[in-house]
Structure 1
Amino acid sequence: MKLKFFLLFFFLLAVKSLKAQQFASWNTTALTLNNGIVERVIQLPAPTGHFFTTQYKPVSGKFQLLDSVSTDFQFEINDQLYSGSRTNWRLIAIKNCSDATSGNGAAVTLLNEEHQFELTVQYLLYPGSAAIRKSLTLKNLSAATLKLESVDVEKLDLNPDAPTFSSVAHDYGRRRALGPYDGNMQDALVAVHNSQWQQGIVVGNEAAGVVKHTSFFWGGMDICSGFTHKDARYPFRKYILPGQVFSTAQVFTMVYNNCKDAGEILNTQVADFVRKYLGSRLSLLKQKPTFVYNTWEPFGSNINEQLVMELARAAAKAGMKEFVIDDGWQDSYGDWGIDKKKFPHGLKPVFDYIKSLGMKPGLWISVGSATPDSKVFKAHPEWFVKDKNGKLTSLHLDVDADRYTACFSTGWYDYIKDILLKLALDNGLEYMKLDFAVVTSPYRYDASASGCYAANHPGHQDHHESLYANYEQVWKLFDELHAAKPGLFIDCTFETMGGLQLIDYAMLKHAEGNWLSNFTGHGQEIDLSIRNMAWWRSPAIPATALVIGNPEMQDASWDLHIKSLAGALPIMLGDPRKLTTAELTKYRQFADWLQRMDLRYRIMSFRQDLPGFGEPMEGYWDGFQRINTETKAGGIVGIFRQGSTETERRVTVFNLDPLKTYQIKKMDGTVICTQTGNYLSKQGFEVIFTKKYDGELFEIAAKGLK
């Protein structure tokens, strides 16, 4: 009887706790959002009038960055401007809303004066997070099509005194600018930090690729984030048909105070939000990849069954966990049949062999291109992109007569989906590297050479709409592939994203990783490029989503390649057959150590900047840490000397429990230091490198941890 009573008591306590996670309350005039970390108050139409933010601040402390009245949102419908604070709205309804990642808040539905459309403004807050996530949903109530453009999902007005001592941290929060700033495709995350007030705001834009836009003090004394405007290089446009409902991308913001630098927020609040609440595909993987091999360098498309089998045997001995066959397996771009001259037994026996060696098989596919002699192009030329002159074209390169780009707003979508599903389900494929331009190209700088100008494609009405529409179709494709094979790892390359080293939050919600680069070189120069790219994109972007090529396994300094890659997703190319037995054994030790660190500390879910070590550059030291900030059990630290004249450095580590005792260990298990978390955060430990170009990985282990 007592047991039943206690079970009932804890059940009721749990229900009460769930109910306590309601972060929105309202009356007839105001909506209040508050999760104990941040508070935002919105004035409501009562029942008609304006809609605007009157307060947005951390719950504790002073905050003066924003003005007392913020526009809240803004967009154009059929070239007419609508905004929260300047348009008359009728309040239709307010209700609680939530999402699948513990978000809770409110959705406010408004009606415009002409009764053309309903607008629902949704706000979500998260437990223990400073983030407020926002989106707009429009429903067309009219009998005519509505043209939606220049959408600012978030539009916050600034205190007129704020810009004077404020800098903009753009380009994933890594580059600093002063004065007005108009963002671009690389601004998945931007921050404004006022150094005098020690306050700021972080803006995360979840729109896709080239149609995202964030600006500060650009068109006025405000912060705007959402889709690109109609006068942009790559304009967003969406035609909303009668009765149709359209939801924008989400934008998340974080206000903060009592902080000396925006980098502190990037390494803590932003990283925590992205890991816990963004809803990334990577966060769903119970086991993250730790060591990947790819055939592209030095073999290119010159591969065959025998070569792949030989490479797989050597890669398995080296401890690789994923084995990706790159270009050259197919009979043509577009048809994506197996070249039986190269792979006479098909791919399934090859994949089965790779699995028998303890690795997951992967495959490269150009997801949106076909050659003129392919069967699919000859049968369906209407599925392909047209340029501004109405001619079939390749978006990928200026001169690319060998390939045409397919438009995902046509029958190509179902066609390529069937091919990819067959590869995954019938052949046992577990990793897809999906490549080449589908919306824009990293290698073409004429903005008009983008999207699709065809007037008869069912998924878009014109060129501007095609930019957004084709991104959305790619995401839908990825989602359907995951639904059919939940464990599938999709590597959506920067070429598919449409910009140099481009990765963003939109992609992360539909694909696990992004092949970010094709760095070449065999010495310390490629190691610097790898570490610089990993630093540049993280911590705004999860480090394990960063697939950074192309270091080769047989290089003389291959061990420094691996150490550098340990700050991202370790991937190696090259010819492992050239390695000696001793070298393969050493490789295996690296691979096993990385996997052991992930099993022990989940290092592949974390990465932070190392205090006192900045951007990796020639002539300096650099480093990173991958400490589990949830368990405080430890993690790893990477330290590198890149041509510096200094031979030694003190290394401090943060995110440890100040009261716990930790051991600093070399990869071979040798303990070099035993200190408390408090000591390590303030005094650290000493690292000495006698070589000008060197690096080392260390384990940080809570004492007593097995």
Structure 2
Amino acid sequence: MKARQGVTRRELLQAGAVLAAGVVCGPSRLADADQHETWSIGNALIRRDVAYAPGVGLYTTQIADLAAGTNLLGAVSDARALAAEFSLICDGQECRSNGGVFQLVDTREDSGEGKRTRAVRLRHIKLPLEVRAVYSVYDGHAAIRKHLVLKNTGTAPLKITHLQIDNLAFALGPENEMTLLAQYGAVPREIFYTGRSEDAGLMLANGRTGAGVTVLNEAPGYMKRTEVAGWDAPDSVRVSAMYDTDLMPFERRLAPGEELTTASASLIPFRRGDAFNDPRWRVPGYTAAVLERRVDQGGPPWIYNTWEPFERGINQQISMDLIEAAGAMGMDVFTIDDGWQQEYGDNAVNLAAFPGGLDPILKAVESRGMRLGLWIPPAAIGMTTEVYKAHPEWASRDIDGNVKTTGTMAGQKVVMCMASRFCMSAAERINDAIERFRLAYAKLDLTTIFNAYGEAPGCWAKGHDHADWAESLHRIYEGIREMTSAVYAKHPDVLLDLTFELWGQKHIIDAGLLAAGDLDWMSNVDDRHPDAAGPLQARQLLYARAASMPVEAMLIGNMHAELPTIQESFATAIGSAPLLLGDLRKLSAADRAWYGEKIRWFKELRKSVKLSDSFFPLGSWRQTSPAAWDGFARLARSGEGVVAVFRNKSGVAGARVELPLIPEGRYRVRVVISGKVLGTFDRSAWARGVDVPFAGPAEVLEMKRA
């Protein structure tokens, strides 16, 4: 590949000085081959080759998709054509991995528990800064994951900005053959693109050959930025997984001796239509196994939540009636949402609503084979709480120095800064609730750093663990993770749900959130009446994110168990982490028994069949519509699993389900809702399409090998 000799104005504008320097300012030639040190990190499916040359630095020479027989990078003969392996600005000085400013210290390889890592440690020749580039691979997954560890080896603080985790020029074909799917890998976009908070996964591919790569930028929330420069070179597309530099700028100070472990970036190559090399197999299997803390091991629990329709009106008698119904349905966790507590930020029980405290509730829940869950706001608390009265200095402040508040269903509450020692106080409160009420699940909710409804982000207070507003943005995300880590240290089996309001944006889910928690209450879909947005819009949220995020981490509220039909509610719930709300008292005994039978079936299926191996959206999935059918398939690598299809208001008699990537074999298909056997079909039949008749609003198929 011929090296380009210049840089365009577009590159300067889109990527700033660091990226521009990465193209223009490299040495004029590579060091002699015998001066290079090279390493490979990989497994039977993938390999990444990394080299270090004196006077040049660290760079990647090739990424090979061994299973698909594809090389992702072009041949390199000149250092000016190399992408910087990482880059950052430290105390105002740009530091590129291949800028001739880093010396090799050592390398180390480790392995264990299905994972191998290679760490390459570099030292800056002038600044008191060490950088370890850490590459990881996982058994059975065609993916390379990378993060950095920065260390201040000096005696004065260092300021880090403009931090790039990974930066590669993918050579998958000419510009006019390249395609990009952005926003979780589901929305077609132009190949000159800036990905931000919703771009947790980008899929770059050659539209003719199908060869491509998924890039998962694991920076949390608003801190992520992924640059795609697809119009600047005739035969490569530069993709940079980085922290934001402008709207929500990353800024981090390192105290003497302090280390900072960055977010990771995962690269998952693929080839569309090529059996298990297709991204609908590769990406879900990887994200479930690697990004989720423990949900994938046994599958997510079935959770009932009281929020709708009861909201803060929930009380002991209503809860007792709901517990009876939820137990009959086979739910695993019974969650009391807002209203159980006397005040936000305190674990004292609201005795007006629960005169016996939560002990009678806990006994009733556990007697029916369930566990208790509670709604807990970590950072939005009342001014009457002991923690606020003792430490008002921990409160977030706005640009004018005023204490920040946020609107809640219980009125205005103070927003405490998670980039202060308050984060450990919040952890202690959550641990106390877990121990006192034997919780299996905690829904951690409300504003921390950003408000999903428009209030200004960050903290301007003095004396917290951030030097200024910009640093507070990332530090608050760090504080959330510090809080959850303290909870997991004492209660490793608890499931922590970090809601979209806590993470700060409507419908958001990303790998940064899953690095801090187990589940994500991703949305509050209106489902209060038969013509509400309901399951149709819940599935839109699911389909738009399932390409790059693990579906069993997604709690999609607020589907009511009794609306619009129990068949559609159940069939939608099994597409993600199953969550139901609603007034269960309205369900007849027959409906409760129906749920109980179907939920027991699904639990048994999930135990024996690894549904997280894939996700295939079907029908009108890209834009769910009342005028067309939609659906999904969740299959294990054996080909066994579940298919759900939804008629909506289309009036069609049936859906033709095509699964051309199902493994070879014959599959006996049973219609779960009716219990009837649809037939036995082989791979060729699924490639042509199997007709599934609609007897009602939704049909669920069980796929088992014949």
* TM over 0.5, shorter chain: yes
Contact 1:514 1:545 in 2 (8 A): yes
* Aligned twin of 2:693: 688
Once the two structures are TM-superposed, the CA of residue 396 in structure 1 deviates from its matched residue by 6.2
What one-letter code is carried by the residue in structure 2 that aligns with 1:443? Y
Once the two structures are TM-superposed, the CA of residue 218 in structure 1 deviates from its matched residue by 7.7
Which residue of the other structure, out of 343, 348, 355, is the alignment partner of 1:344? Answer: 355
Q: Aligned equivalents of 2:406 and 2:250: distance in 1? A: 18
- The yes-or-no answer on 1:292 pairing with 2:303 is yes
- The yes-or-no answer on 1:387 pairing with 2:379 is no
Contact 1:117 1:141 in 2 (8 A): yes
Once the two structures are TM-superposed, the CA of residue 261 in structure 1 deviates from its matched residue by 9.6
Distance 1:463 1:87, change over 3 A: farther
Alignment of 1:162-201 (within 5 A): 162-201=174-213
Once the two structures are TM-superposed, the CA of residue 626 in structure 1 deviates from its matched residue by 1.6
Which residue of the other structure, out of 698, 701, 704, is the alignment partner of 2:701? Answer: 698
Once the two structures are TM-superposed, the CA of residue 698 in structure 1 deviates from its matched residue by 1.1
Alignment of 1:296-375 (within 5 A): 296-375=307-386
Q: Which moved more, 1:73-82 or 1:664-673?
A: 664-673
Alignment of 1:250-289 (within 5 A): 250-257=264-271, 259=272, 265-278=278-291, 280-283=293-296, 285-289=297-301
Once the two structures are TM-superposed, the CA of residue 338 in structure 1 deviates from its matched residue by 1.0
Contact 2:484 2:517 in 1 (8 A): yes
How far does the alpha carbon of each residue in 1:534-582 deviate from its partner, in whole angstroms, 9 at most, with x for none? 1111142221211111122333523212212221122221211122222
The DSSP-based 3-state class of the residue aligned with 1:583 is helix
Once the two structures are TM-superposed, the CA of residue 302 in structure 1 deviates from its matched residue by 0.8
The DSSP-based 3-state class of the residue aligned with 1:461 is coil
Q: Aligned equivalents of 1:31 and 1:546: distance in 2? A: 38
Alignment of 1:490-569 (within 5 A): 490-521=496-527, 522-523=529-530, 525-569=533-577
Q: Aligned equivalents of 2:604 and 2:374: distance in 1? A: 26
Q: Aligned equivalents of 2:499 and 2:247: distance in 1? A: 22
Once the two structures are TM-superposed, the CA of residue 129 in structure 1 deviates from its matched residue by 2.6
Once the two structures are TM-superposed, the CA of residue 583 in structure 1 deviates from its matched residue by 2.1
- The yes-or-no answer on 1:211 pairing with 2:223 is yes
What one-letter code is carried by the residue in structure 1 that aligns with 2:373? G
What one-letter code is carried by the residue in structure 1 that aligns with 2:523? S
Once the two structures are TM-superposed, the CA of residue 326 in structure 1 deviates from its matched residue by 0.5
Once the two structures are TM-superposed, the CA of residue 264 in structure 1 deviates from its matched residue by 6.9
* Aligned twin of 2:8: none
Once the two structures are TM-superposed, the CA of residue 485 in structure 1 deviates from its matched residue by 2.0
Q: Aligned equivalents of 2:222 and 2:410: distance in 1? A: 22
- The yes-or-no answer on 1:455 pairing with 2:466 is no
Q: Aligned equivalents of 1:462 and 1:218: distance in 2? A: 35
Contact 1:542 1:606 in 2 (8 A): no
- The yes-or-no answer on 1:649 pairing with 2:628 is no
Which residue of the other structure, out of 422, 438, 460, is the alignment partner of 1:412? Answer: 422
* Aligned twin of 2:160: 148
Contact 1:146 1:241 in 2 (8 A): yes
Q: Aligned equivalents of 2:292 and 2:700: distance in 1? A: 30
Once the two structures are TM-superposed, the CA of residue 456 in structure 1 deviates from its matched residue by 0.7
Q: Aligned equivalents of 1:77 and 1:371: distance in 2? A: 40
Once the two structures are TM-superposed, the CA of residue 479 in structure 1 deviates from its matched residue by 2.3
Q: Aligned equivalents of 1:123 and 1:212: distance in 2? A: 20
The DSSP-based 3-state class of the residue aligned with 2:405 is coil
Root-mean-square deviation (CA, aligned residues, Å) is: 2.7
The DSSP-based 3-state class of the residue aligned with 1:403 is strand
Q: Aligned equivalents of 1:645 and 1:342: distance in 2? A: 46
- The yes-or-no answer on 1:92 pairing with 2:105 is yes
Q: Aligned equivalents of 1:220 and 1:563: distance in 2? A: 46
* Aligned twin of 2:493: 487
Q: Aligned equivalents of 1:473 and 1:534: distance in 2? A: 28
The DSSP-based 3-state class of the residue aligned with 1:642 is coil
- The yes-or-no answer on 1:54 pairing with 2:61 is yes
- The yes-or-no answer on 1:593 pairing with 2:596 is no
Q: Aligned equivalents of 2:488 and 2:668: distance in 1? A: 40
Once the two structures are TM-superposed, the CA of residue 263 in structure 1 deviates from its matched residue by 12
Distance 1:293 1:277, change over 3 A: closer
The DSSP-based 3-state class of the residue aligned with 1:156 is strand
- The yes-or-no answer on 1:114 pairing with 2:120 is no
- The yes-or-no answer on 1:236 pairing with 2:250 is yes
Alignment of 1:621-632 (within 5 A): 621-629=629-637, 632=638
Contact 2:298 2:607 in 1 (8 A): no
- The yes-or-no answer on 1:431 pairing with 2:441 is yes
The DSSP-based 3-state class of the residue aligned with 1:402 is strand
- The yes-or-no answer on 1:223 pairing with 2:234 is no
The DSSP-based 3-state class of the residue aligned with 1:509 is helix
Once the two structures are TM-superposed, the CA of residue 371 in structure 1 deviates from its matched residue by 2.0
What one-letter code is carried by the residue in structure 1 that aligns with 2:87? Q
Distance 1:220 1:432, change over 3 A: farther
What one-letter code is carried by the residue in structure 2 that aligns with 1:698? L
* Aligned twin of 2:475: 469
Q: Which moved more, 1:517-526 or 1:146-155?
A: 517-526
Q: Aligned equivalents of 1:386 and 1:218: distance in 2? A: 41
Once the two structures are TM-superposed, the CA of residue 495 in structure 1 deviates from its matched residue by 0.5
Q: Aligned equivalents of 1:223 and 1:247: distance in 2? A: 24
* Aligned twin of 2:413: 403
Contact 1:74 1:83 in 2 (8 A): yes
Contact 1:396 1:443 in 2 (8 A): no
* Aligned twin of 1:574: 582
What one-letter code is carried by the residue in structure 2 that aligns with 1:523? P
What one-letter code is carried by the residue in structure 2 that aligns with 1:519? V
Contact 1:63 1:199 in 2 (8 A): no
Once the two structures are TM-superposed, the CA of residue 602 in structure 1 deviates from its matched residue by 4.1
Structure 1, unaligned runs of 5 or more: 1-25
- The yes-or-no answer on 1:441 pairing with 2:446 is no
What one-letter code is carried by the residue in structure 1 that aligns with 2:288? R
Which residue of the other structure, out of 92, 96, 112, is the alignment partner of 1:79? Answer: 92
The DSSP-based 3-state class of the residue aligned with 2:665 is coil
Contact 1:49 1:90 in 2 (8 A): no
Q: Aligned equivalents of 2:292 and 2:607: distance in 1? A: 22
Once the two structures are TM-superposed, the CA of residue 328 in structure 1 deviates from its matched residue by 0.5
Q: Aligned equivalents of 1:219 and 1:235: distance in 2? A: 25
Structure 2, unaligned runs of 5 or more: 1-33, 77-81
Once the two structures are TM-superposed, the CA of residue 509 in structure 1 deviates from its matched residue by 2.8
Overall identity of the aligned pairs, in %: 27
Once the two structures are TM-superposed, the CA of residue 37 in structure 1 deviates from its matched residue by 2.6
Distance 1:560 1:208, change over 3 A: same
Q: Aligned equivalents of 2:620 and 2:277: distance in 1? A: 14
The DSSP-based 3-state class of the residue aligned with 2:355 is coil
Once the two structures are TM-superposed, the CA of residue 639 in structure 1 deviates from its matched residue by 0.9
Q: Aligned equivalents of 1:376 and 1:341: distance in 2? A: 23
Once the two structures are TM-superposed, the CA of residue 400 in structure 1 deviates from its matched residue by 9.8
* Aligned twin of 1:609: 616
Once the two structures are TM-superposed, the CA of residue 408 in structure 1 deviates from its matched residue by 1.6
The DSSP-based 3-state class of the residue aligned with 2:362 is helix
Q: Aligned equivalents of 2:364 and 2:521: distance in 1? A: 25
Distance 1:354 1:700, change over 3 A: same
Q: Aligned equivalents of 2:412 and 2:471: distance in 1? A: 27
Distance 1:391 1:220, change over 3 A: farther
What one-letter code is carried by the residue in structure 2 that aligns with 1:87? G
